[in-house]
Amino acid sequence: MNDERDTEADDAHVEIPLESLSREALRGVVEEFITREGTDYGHDERTLEGKVEDVMRQLERGEARIVYDPERQSVTLIPS
């Protein structure tokens, strides 16, 4: 059953190709995603810049993707 629900949820999302965003817009989406939770509880405190670079590499390697959820009218990043 979980697979069926996951497929339905995936169908509800629209993937946003990286090439369709300006560098500034892409960075804004990534920064908003990173800061969404507000607090980093990791062992070593990392800079925002370091986190942005990590997420950008994941997007460029295809390990993550940007999706738009029309129902919630929001953009998020999900693992590929």
* Sequence spans of domains, the chain: 2-37+45-79
Tell me, rounded to whole angstroms, the distance of Cα 14 from its chain centroid: 13
| Whole-structure pTM value | 0.77
The type of residue at 28 is G
Q: Report the chain (80 residues): mean pLDDT per 10 consecutive residues.
A: 46 91 97 82 81 96 96 94
Mention every residue, 6+ apart, whose C-beta is less than 8 A from residue 34.
48, 51, 52, 55
What pLDDT score was predicted for residue 40? 63
Q: Helix, strand, or coil here: 33?
A: helix
CB 71 within 8 A of CB 9: no
Mention every residue, 6+ apart, whose C-beta is less than 8 A from residue 38.
none
Q: Which CATH class is domain 2-37+45-79?
A: mainly alpha
